[in-house]
Structure 1
Amino acid sequence: MRWELAEEQELFQESLRGWLEKVAPSDRVRRWMDSSDPSAFEERLARDGWLAVGAAEERGGQGGGLLELALTAEELARRAAPSSAWLATMTALPALPDDVALDALGGGGFAALVVDGGRPVDCADGVSEDGQGRLHGSVPLVLGADRAARLVVPVRAPRGRELRLVDAADAGVTITRRSLLDRSRSAADVVLDGVSGRPLDVEAEVVLGEAALRGAVLVSADALGAMQRMLDLAVDYSLQRHQFGVPIGSFQAVKHAAASILVSVEAARSIVYYAAASVEAAQHDSATHAAIAKAQVTSSGVSVGDAALTMHGAIGYTWEHDLHLLYKRARLDERLWGRPSDWNERIATALELLPTG
């Protein structure tokens, strides 16, 4: 099945792609990586209105839904643009009160879910509440925590799991940035020591479940964007690089490698877009669709990266070439918020066993 975007969605994607080509060229992306400070890009993203796409108008957004967010994630990945703050905020959005969401989407301060970046979002289990209502605990590798003004903290409380909203500048909050192989994004270890948080009037399990599916879809869309750009780079290089007096793209083995990458990219595109639409519509099997996207697309992203690097040879590993930026991005997507094996377990659990006879 090939998923076809609506005309307005195609126009949105083309507009964002053109904006990113102008605002986030490769040399500028590298400078942001070198400085570990993507604030200039984040401020521009908010100022030009892209941060508000995919959120309801009553919450300060410009309309659209998860499919528009998936298109945004795809285009950000194609440029290897900094996206930790954006991705963390869009994933945390279901938990945010309207006033906080309005501020965040307007560029007043990003938000992050305090969950272990190596596990699915709804598996959060690192913070507890003492008898005075104060929070204690540590959570490793929280995506975008170093960029966030507010933290949404899942808490083990006497009444069950609850959510608290914490100011990242609180004296009891320690945020230690971690270096990642993928320098286009960032994560941090978060320690809470006697912090008071604003209780959020939501059903924690429901909201975390929704956030987990949103996160799975958006990470998969990021992997799709990286895959598409790696395909583009590999094809361009195969036409430029000559051996024995002819472009290497004329060799049968290279043609087969490029065709295999193309098949992976087009399959991933349909999986991601369908999963986004399914989760947005709260379809009966939406959790399975999101799990399939996270497991299959992010795994394919790594395979595509390996194939693209093989087609490029040693030049693909050099700092001057863009390919390694996309390859590292795909590697993080595979592990972020759960490995493919974690999500395959969810698929297996959801599938109904049928008799063989």
Structure 2
Amino acid sequence: MEWKLSDEQITYQETLRGWLSDTASAATVRAWLDEGDERTFEAQFVRDGWSGVGIPEALGGQGGGLVELALTAEELARAAVPSAAWLATALAVPALADRPDAAEKAFAGKAVTLLVPADEVPDSGPVLAMDSEGRLSGSVPRVLAGSRVDSFVAVVREGDHRAVRLVRAEDVEKSARRLLDRSRSVADVRLDAVPSEPLPVEGEAFLREYAARAAVLVAADSLGAAERMLALAVDYSKQRRQFGVPIGSFQAVKHAAATILVGTEAGRSVLYYAAATVDAGEPGCGLHAAAAKAQITAESARAADSALTVHGAIGYTWEHDLHLFSKRAKLDEYLFGTPAQWNERIADGLRLV
């Protein structure tokens, strides 16, 4: 099956790519990452009106859905720009469906994230305790953009069901962690009898939706990184010469590039079909999202190894751009669950007898 984007979606993708080319050159991105500066790009992304694309107008967004969000994630990865706050907000904002004021603020730079470990499948369960007055206590390690957001969404056990609560970031303790991929960030978050307010969202349904959306958007990010690594590998293979000829003329190098290309093109159809079915809430959409996460992130991690092999020793150097994208692909392989974990979910969900 070949998934085709609409003309409007293609135009959006091309326009965003052009804006990123003008705004986030490789030298500019390197400066942001070297300085640990995520805010400069985030502020400009919001100011120029990109942060609300893919978000319903009722929530203060500009319309569109998960396909548009996936297009955004793919392009952000192609540019290796800081995107943790954007991704965290895009995933958590459905919890604010009955709080359009809070949702609108989220896409005006007041980011929000869900209190779950970023290296686990997101719907594993609550990790915080709540007392009779709605105060939350507990610790959550490795929260995506945990030190970058203005509020947190928490899912807690309330009686025999899960409840969703909103917490102000100023009321919690945050400790940032360093990642090899400097374009994303996580932090350990600790709550000690922190006040919270209820959000009228059904917890089980929200976590299922969050997990599926996370799988799709991380897969999209991984696809964008793989596309850029392929472009770098092909360009380098035309420049580097051995035995008097470009290394791109060697069969082994051609095969490596072709394998990356096949993986990215196969992943593209899987990704955007999954995004469309998750957005529509179709039966089996969770399995489609799981397939996208498992397949694309595994392929992109392999693409990182292949691209590094094509580049040889220069690919290991800090000065070459390849490491920006290979580290991104390697993190995506583990972000919100490994391919093995998502494959297990697929196996559990299939009726084989």
TM-score (structure 1 length as normaliser): 0.96
The letter of the residue matching 2:142 is L
**2:37 aligned residue:** 37
**Contact 1:116/1:124 (CA < 8 Å) preserved in 2?**
no
Q: Map 1:106-185; keep pairs closer than 5 Å.
A: 106-107=108-109, 109-170=110-171, 173-185=172-184
**2:323 aligned residue:** 324
**1:92 aligned residue:** 92
State the distance in 2 between where 1:101 and 1:124 align.
24
**Contact 2:134/2:197 (CA < 8 Å) preserved in 1?**
no
**2:104 aligned residue:** 102
State the distance in 1 between where 2:34 and 2:128 align.
33
The letter of the residue matching 1:77 is A
**Helix, strand or coil: the match of 1:181?**
coil
State the distance in 2 between where 1:122 and 1:297 align.
20
TM-fit CA distance, 1:167: 0.5
State the distance in 1 between where 2:37 and 2:6 align.
36
Residue 78, structure 1, aligned to residue 78, structure 2:
yes
Task: Tell me which stretches of 4 or more aligned residues in structure 1 moved more than 4 Å.
Answer: none
**2:268 aligned residue:** 269
**Helix, strand or coil: the match of 1:199?**
strand
State the distance in 2 between where 1:345 and 1:155 align.
25
Deviations 1:246-281 (A, max 9, x none): 000001111111111110010111111111011011
Deviates more, 1:236-245 or 1:93-102: 93-102
Q: State the identity as a percent.
A: 58
**Helix, strand or coil: the match of 2:273?**
helix
- Would you say how many aligned residue pairs link Structure 1 and Structure 2? 351
State the distance in 1 between where 2:132 and 2:316 align.
53
State the distance in 2 between where 1:220 and 1:12 align.
19
The letter of the residue matching 1:72 is T
TM-fit CA distance, 1:222: 0.2
**1:296 aligned residue:** 295
**Helix, strand or coil: the match of 2:150?**
strand
**Helix, strand or coil: the match of 1:347?**
helix
State the distance in 1 between where 2:206 and 2:159 align.
19
State the distance in 2 between where 1:208 and 1:94 align.
10
State the distance in 2 between where 1:101 and 1:203 align.
17
Gap runs ≥5 in structure 1: none
The letter of the residue matching 1:145 is G
**Helix, strand or coil: the match of 2:283?**
coil
RMSD: 1.0
State the distance in 2 between where 1:25 and 1:278 align.
34
Residue 343, structure 1, aligned to residue 342, structure 2:
yes
TM-fit CA distance, 1:35: 1.8
State the distance in 2 between where 1:5 and 1:132 align.
48
**Helix, strand or coil: the match of 2:140?**
strand
**Contact 1:128/1:157 (CA < 8 Å) preserved in 2?**
no
**Helix, strand or coil: the match of 2:13?**
helix
The letter of the residue matching 1:90 is A
TM-fit CA distance, 1:144: 0.8
**Contact 2:118/2:143 (CA < 8 Å) preserved in 1?**
yes
The letter of the residue matching 1:106 is A
**Contact 1:60/1:106 (CA < 8 Å) preserved in 2?**
no
Q: Map 1:12-91; keep pairs closer than 5 Å.
A: 12-91=12-91
State the distance in 2 between where 1:315 and 1:244 align.
18
**1:192 aligned residue:** 191
TM-fit CA distance, 1:212: 0.9
TM-fit CA distance, 1:159: 4.3
TM-fit CA distance, 1:120: 1.3
The letter of the residue matching 2:136 is L
**Contact 1:88/1:113 (CA < 8 Å) preserved in 2?**
yes
TM-fit CA distance, 1:175: 0.6
State the distance in 2 between where 1:77 and 1:113 align.
21
TM-score (structure 2 length as normaliser): 0.98
Deviations 1:11-45 (A, max 9, x none): 10000001011111111111211221210110111
State the distance in 1 between where 2:34 and 2:4 align.
38
Gap runs ≥5 in structure 2: none
TM-fit CA distance, 1:160: 2.8
Deviations 1:267-304 (A, max 9, x none): 11111111101101111010000000011111111001
Q: Map 1:173-322; keep pairs closer than 5 Å.
A: 173-322=172-321
State the distance in 2 between where 1:304 and 1:91 align.
26
